[in-house]
């Protein structure tokens, strides 16, 4: 019998629920300010906002994973195990990086400086992780190659030079 059919589906579901509930709980703990000490060499007083963003991203990733688990329960095969296992972890890191990119000005979006606005962006990054990776790929292509996805250079004239066409 395929291991995914025996206990795999229950394990994946439990794993995603633990990430979902755990992320909500950790955001509450970090938001309450009761966890302001060093843990494993990390001073949470300095990084607690970024931890909140990470857990918001993991929450979005776990929610998306639970949605996909529900929609594709019958078609679930062993090839998807790593996708389900890695989704919350990748979304945790991606959410933090997204906020750093917005704060640095590299990615532009008109969002207020409130904590709830940044947590919302982090959550959406986790939920839409695939779309985020596409945008990140476009950003790096534009940033390092000077071209965007539609084949024009940065000034949009498409002739490969930095001077406008006449």
For residue range 116-130, what is the model confidence (pLDDT) as tens digits? 888 899 999 999 998
Closest CA to 21 of 76, 73, 58: 58
Q: Is residue 63 part of a domain?
A: yes
Note down the domain range covering 86: 3-145
Question: What average pLDDT score do residues 121-140 get?
Answer: 89
Q: Is residue 158 part of a domain?
A: no
Q: Is residue 23 part of a domain?
A: yes
Q: Is residue 150 part of a domain?
A: no
At 4 the pLDDT is 62
Domain count, the chain: 1
Q: Is residue 64 part of a domain?
A: yes
Q: In angstroms, how far is CA 76 from the centroid of its own chain?
A: 23
Q: Is residue 32 part of a domain?
A: yes
Question: What average pLDDT score do residues 32-54 get?
Answer: 77
């Amino acid at each position: 019998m395929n291991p995914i059919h025996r206990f795999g589906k229950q394990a994946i579901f439990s794993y995603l629920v633990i990430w979902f509930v755990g992320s909500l709980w950790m955001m509450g703990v970090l938001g309450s300010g009761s966890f302001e000490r060093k843990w494993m060499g990390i001073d949470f007083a300095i990084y607690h906002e970024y931890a909140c963003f990470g857990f918001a991203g993991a929450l979005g990733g776990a929610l998306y994973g639970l949605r996909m688990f529900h929609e594709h329960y019958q078609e679930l095969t062993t090839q998807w195990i790593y996708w389900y296992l890695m989704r919350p972890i990748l979304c945790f890191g991606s959410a933090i990086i997204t906020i750093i990119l917005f704060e640095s000005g590299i990615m532009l979006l008109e969002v207020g400086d409130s904590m709830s606005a940044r947590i919302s962006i982090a959550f959406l990054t986790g939920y839409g992780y695939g779309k985020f990776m596409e945008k990140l790929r476009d950003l790096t292509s534009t940033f390092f190659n000077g071209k965007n996805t539609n084949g024009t250079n940065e000034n949009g004239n498409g002739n490969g030079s930095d001077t406008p066409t006449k």
